[in-house]
Structure 1
Amino acid sequence: MQRPPLCLITGANSGLGKVTAIELARNGFDIIMLCRDEIKAQRVQQEVQAASKTRNVYLVQCDLGDMQSVRRAAGEINRRFDHLDVLINNAGRVVNDLQYSPGGIELTFATNYLSHFLLTHLLLDLLKKSNEGRIINVASELHYAAPFDLDNIVKRDKSDYSAIGAYSDSKLAKLLFSFELADRLMDYGITVNALHPWLVDSNFAEDGDAKGVLHLAFSVAKLFAPEPETMAKTHIYLASSPEIHNVTGLYFARCKPLEPSDKARNQKLGLQLWQLSEQLVGIEYPIPQPPLLAPN
């Protein structure tokens, strides 16, 4: 008997992550929900189970702002499961005031990007055991305006801190990571794609991190946003469509390829970010860099 595909979704207890979990469960996927708020996630877990054909919906607690929490969660996943078919790096947050992770890394960058860089590394062996491994990184259209200075992305000047700037930088980092990883995994049968989710009518920026004018701006924008059920279609398409089982290294919106910024396609910048990320989390990916980017 063929086993159901297994999908892990970060931030699966709200917004697009929740909708994606429910819809994939309805389509026969087993689901791993990776969530910061365990109490809230337990209620959503029951909703996903009610919608599921298999009721195999698992919950793993993880604070993506803390790399030690990411390591603990990945260790638990590797102990409990013998494969992983789809990894959706979905979770994200916007932080109104400059904050740092327990490891001393700017919190938006740590949560939205670096945690997913580390988590993906720690789950690669499970993905390699899939017949058709897929990695999906949720980025944002805001990456087009990212200031992105690698020298200041870990430690930021408080007087010059911009919540939107930090958020945009984290999403550009996710795209640079996606394209670099797609090249490196080309020979492993694992595809890597990114998507723009649009600003949707969800509880994004409602956790107290966004305040004042920033919170007001998101609140007004959401009045004109599509429902999560509409915009989650790209997540579901990339996770389940047979049309793209060999498609890798692209950026999608509304289920169609979208051209990213020139900076997102800058291979030199992508390699520099990759090397910095390895240093920050203290690991080295067990996959070689493509010959095109090999140092002289």
Structure 2
Amino acid sequence: MVERIVIITGANSGIGKAATLKFATEGYTVIMACRNIEISKIVQKEIIEASKNEKVELMELDVSSFNSIRKFCSEYKNRYPKLDILIHNAAYMNHGEKIYQLSPENIELTFATNTFGPFLMTNLLLDYLAKSEDPRILNACTTNIKHFFDPKRKIDFDNLHGEFKESRPYSVYKMYGDSKMALLMLTFKMANEFKNSGIKVNALQINGVRMSKETIKKLRSFWKVIATIQNVYFPPPAEMANNYFHICTSDEFKNATGQLINHKREMIQPPKGDKDNLVERVKQIFGSSCYPRYATETDNIEKIWEISTQLTKN
């Protein structure tokens, strides 16, 4: 196989770790882009031994920090000739967090990690993706965006720097859903912007997956109990990692771009018609065939694109 290179952010645990093992086992050169190097070194060794593939590299990256992203991309370009696949897997959601957190650039931490970090990283690596014969980008999305089936749900664009942190209650779950909705809208916009370069950009809607023991240990007591119960019913990370691999490598998705794909590898569509009643909303929330119309509204897409561009331009 001609060498193909994939970057996976947050590759030391959960789906990221499982995806790294999958790509490595299939012979890819895998760049583990991780914040905690000491923990990641142990995982890197495990994956090399399990996959029998020495081409599993570890590079430091904090996706919430623009300086870290710029340093990572610069070092990557000095070491590698191209990039074939970029998977934005890393995400921030600290269960039970009630205090407004800011990134090194004074941006709300969830948005910095889940939205603006991937936006900046993608743009810094565009020229290297363009060197690939089959460049693909995959953004990890979430079923949490289904809250936007509620027509009253909006992204708080005016509170991304904590402008109202003293007067508005902070919900990490709302911020997580908002940041992933923003990432989905950027997916649609990027697909259109990059199509002339042949770069495909898609998002995968991730439903629940089993948490690792290491992740559960980090949770507060109440959430440890919830996660332990959920683990009985949720599939292992390897199942979603297989979706990562299939979407980023198969002929089935070779020409797909600007799509949100569900866990069944089906392309999800916006709702048909103008129905907006309780019964229809319940069907949408519990189904997996459509996403909220909010994601397709031009004003929303242009707003998050403009904000992302402005915040990352320096």
Per the normalisation by structure 1, the TM-score is: 0.89
What residue is the counterpart of 1:270 in the other structure? Answer: 301
The residue type paired with residue 177 of structure 2 is S
Cα gap change, 1:280 to 1:218, in 2 (>3 Å): farther
Q: Map residues 133-172 of structure 1 onto 2, 5 A cutoff.
A: 133-146=135-148, 147-155=154-162, 156-158=164-166, 159-172=168-181
CA apart distance, 1:214: 5.0
| Distance in 2 of aligned mates of 1:58 and 1:192 | 24
Secondary structure class of the residue paired with 2:296: coil
Write the deviation string for residues 250-270 of structure 1: whole angstroms up to 9, x where unpaired: 111122212321111223211
Write the distance in 1 (CA, Å) between the matches of 2:67 and 2:32. Answer: 18
Query: 1:217 Cα deviation (Å)?
Result: 3.9
Partner residue of 1:132? 134
CA distance in 2, matches of 1:160, 1:154: 14
- In structure 2, C-alpha distance between the alignment counterparts of 1:51 and 1:205, rounded to whole Å: 22
Of the two, which has the highest radius of gyration?
Answer: 2
Q: 1:228 aligns with which of 237, 241, 256?
A: 237
Q: Deviations over 1:267-287 (max 9, x none)?
A: 32111101101111225xxxx
How far apart are the structure 2 equivalents of 1:224 and 1:154? 37
Matching of residue 100 in structure 1 with residue 102 in structure 2: yes
Is 1:78 equivalent to 2:80 in the alignment? no
Quote the offset at 1:228 in angstroms.
Answer: 1.0
Question: Deviation of residue 231 (structure 1)?
Answer: 2.3
**Offset of 1:54 from its aligned partner?**
4.1
Structure 1 207/263 Cα, relative in aligned 2: closer, same or farther at 3 Å? farther
The residue aligned with 2:7 is 8
Runs of 4+ that moved beyond 6 A: none
CA distances 1:177-196 after superposition (whole Å, capped 9, x unpaired): 10000011111111000001
Does the 8 A contact of 1:9 with 1:89 survive in 2?
A: yes
| Alignment: residue pair count | 281
Separation of aligned partners in 2, 1:222 and 1:279:
40
For residue 67 of structure 1, report the CA deviation from its aligned partner: 1.2
1:85–1:134 contact (8 Å) kept in structure 2 = yes
1:59 alignment partner, SS class: strand
C-alpha change, 1:206 and 1:64, in structure 2 (3 Å) is farther
Amino acid at match of 1:93: Y
Aligned to 2:54: 55
**What is the match of residue 292 of structure 1?**
none
Q: Is the 8 A contact 1:180 1:267 kept in 2?
A: no
| 1:257 corresponds to 2:267 | yes
Deviation string 1:60-93 (CA, Å, 9 cap, x unpaired) is 1011121111111111111111100000000012
Counting aligned pairs with the same residue, the percent is: 33
Any idea what SS the aligned residue of 2:294 has?
coil
Q: Say whether residues 1:242 and 2:251 are aligned partners.
A: yes
- Other-structure match for 1:187: 196
Read off the aligned partner of 1:150 and give its amino acid letter: F
Aligned-residue RMSD, C-alpha: 1.9
Q: What residue ranges of structure 2 are gaps of 5+ in the alignment?
A: 149-153, 269-289
